[in-house]
Structure formats: C-alpha cells, structure tokens
Amino acid sequence: MAESKKYDRVAIVTGGASGIGFVLARAMAENRYAVVIADMQNAESSAEKLRRDGLSAVGVKADVTSVEDTTNMVEFAVKTFGGLDVLVNNAGIFTSLTLKPFDQISPAEWMKVMEVNTLGPFLCVKAAVPSMRARGAGRVVNIASTSQLKGAPYMLHYTSSKGAVVAFTRSLARELGSDGITVNSIAPGFTLSDGVLATGMEEKMGDVVRRTSRSIQRDQVPADLVGALLFFSGHGSAFITGQTLAVDGGSVFL
C-alpha cells in the first residue's frame, strides 16, 4: 500500500533553524504542515532533525534581505511540496543587539536592524504572495514584539523596527483581504530563545521583566507562541486579519 501523505499544508518559517523559529517550525511539522526552514545558517541540518522524527521538512539557505534568496526560497517550497499556504516572518535581529542609549546607536547599526527586521518581511511577502494568490488563499504571520507596544529603552532601532512590522501587518492586510490572504502578527514578550540564553540577555533582563510587568510571573519560552501561530495559520482565523496578538503572560493589554 502506498504511504499516505504526511502533510496537509505547506509553511515557510524564516529564521527557522534556531531559537523561536525552530520551535515554531517543529510545532507546525507536528501539526501536519510540510515545513521549509529558511535561514542564513544551519537550515538543512535543522530540517534534518525534524525529518529524523518522521516529520516533513526541508531546509534552504536564505538571507531574508536578499531578493534572489527570498525568490529562491519560495520557488524551492513550491517545487518541493507543491504550493505555499503559510509564511512565518520570524527571522530578525534581536539577540545579537548591543543594548545602548539611542544617541550611541550608529546609522549603520540602525540600518542593519531595519534591513533584516523590515526589508526582510517585505521581500519574503513579495516572493510568497503570487503563489498564495494563485490558490486564492494564504496566511502571513509576522513575529513582532511587545517591546514596541510598551516602549523599551536602549534598543530604539529594534523597537522602531517592530513598530514597523505592526504597521506593515495592518496595511498589507488591507491589500490582501480580497485575495483570501490574512496577515497577522504575534507580539512575544521577552522569550528564552536559544539566542537569548547564549548571549546572557536573560541575566540582564529576565528578572526585571518577570517581576515588573507580567501577570503570569514565569519565564516565557518559545513553546508559548505555538498556540497563537497555529491559530493564525489555520482555518479558524479565516475572518481575522491585520491583528497583533500579544503573547507575553499578560504584560501588555491591547
């Protein structure tokens, strides 16, 4: 007897090789998505980890700030799995940031953060929407941040870039509604991702975040974002677009 198909829908997760992105990629694969992990590094080795667990995943090396790479990423997804249903714009500069007062941020640092965090989602959407339009359906889920909702010191370039992601979500939703494509954002609070743990950010920020602002006073982990992602990716959210959902233990109330 022929082996039955292991997936129902196809998703690309940018920055999916590690951190929050990898946890989201695994969760989607465990929920009958074929997943394309798109990352500048370790994309294929991360996909291999999912395949070893019997899941459908492939990796593609892609820098989200490159037109060529983002075009190739979508072509690869369509060629490999036959279409594209969900784009998760997760790749971003956060854990490599040096926290500093605004007047010490150089124009080059500002531009780099803007390039990855705002040009990146724009190029990915430009590449992905034609395939979604062809199907008359699609889901774009952007990873924003509650830092831009609350205001956060010493990362003005970052919070500004994530504010742009929310504006991008709202305006793009207006353009794509008639194509059956929804565009929503998830705004995580401070999350113990691989990058946060590796860079010592947790020691600097974790306790303050927990004690001063969360209703639910525990660490946030990448798995806390899975429910929101599956909701925005699935059929149950078909009439919800342009929204930003804070997933942060009850810190920001929208």
User: Which are the catalytic amino acids?
Assistant: 158
Taking the complex as a whole, the smallest distance from the CB of residue 219 to ligand NAD amounts, in Å, to 10
CB 161 within 8 A of CB 117: yes
**What's the maximum distance between 2 C-alpha atoms anywhere in the chain?**
66
Residue from 10, 14, 131, 155 touching ligand NAD (CB under 6 A): that is 14
Q: Where are the alpha helices (DSSP H) in the chain?
A: 19-30, 43-52, 67-81, 107-114, 120-135, 147-150, 156-176, 194-199, 201-213, 226-233
Give every CB contact of residue 34 below 8 A, 6+ residues apart in sequence: 6, 7, 9, 10, 11, 56, 57, 58, 80, 81
- The answer to whether residue 121 forms part of the interface with ligand NAD (CB under 6 A) is no
Touching ligand NAD, residues 82-111 (CB under 6 A): 90-92, 94-95
Written as one letter, the residue type at 108 is: A
Taking the complex as a whole, the smallest distance from the CB of residue 239 to ligand NAD amounts, in Å, to 26
Of 141, 134, 120, give the one whose Cα is nearest residue 11. 141
Taking the complex as a whole, the smallest distance from the CB of residue 34 to ligand NAD amounts, in Å, to 19
Of 225, 138, 144, give the one whose Cα is nearest residue 173. 138
Taking the complex as a whole, the smallest distance from the CB of residue 38 to ligand NAD amounts, in Å, to 6
- The answer to whether residue 145 forms part of the interface with ligand NAD (CB under 6 A) is yes
Q: Choose between 40 and 114: whose C-beta lies nearer to ligand NAD.
A: 40
Taking the complex as a whole, the smallest distance from the CB of residue 205 to ligand NAD amounts, in Å, to 8
- The answer to whether residue 169 forms part of the interface with ligand NAD (CB under 6 A) is no
For residue 31, CA distances in Å to 22, 232, 233, 234 come to 14, 13, 11, 10
Stretch that binds ligand NAD, among 5-13, 34-42, 72-80, 232-240 (CB under 6 A): 34-42
Instruction: Determine the Cα–Cα distance for residues 13 and 117; give it in Å rounded to an integer.
Output: 14
For residue 241, CA distances in Å to 134, 173, 176 come to 19, 6, 9
Touching ligand NAD, residues 185-214 (CB under 6 A): 188, 190-191, 193-196
Touching ligand NAD, residues 52-71 (CB under 6 A): 62-65
Q: Choose between 137 and 213: whose C-beta lies nearer to ligand NAD.
A: 213
CB 121 within 8 A of CB 168: yes
Q: Phi first, then psi: give them for residue 88, nearest 5 degrees.
A: -105, 110
Q: Choose between 13 and 173: whose C-beta lies nearer to ligand NAD.
A: 13
Q: Choose between 18 and 184: whose C-beta lies nearer to ligand NAD.
A: 18
Q: Choose between 92 and 138: whose C-beta lies nearer to ligand NAD.
A: 92
Residues in touch with ligand NAD (CB under 6 A): 14-15, 17-21, 39-41, 62-65, 90-92, 94-95, 116, 120, 143, 145, 188, 190-191, 193-196
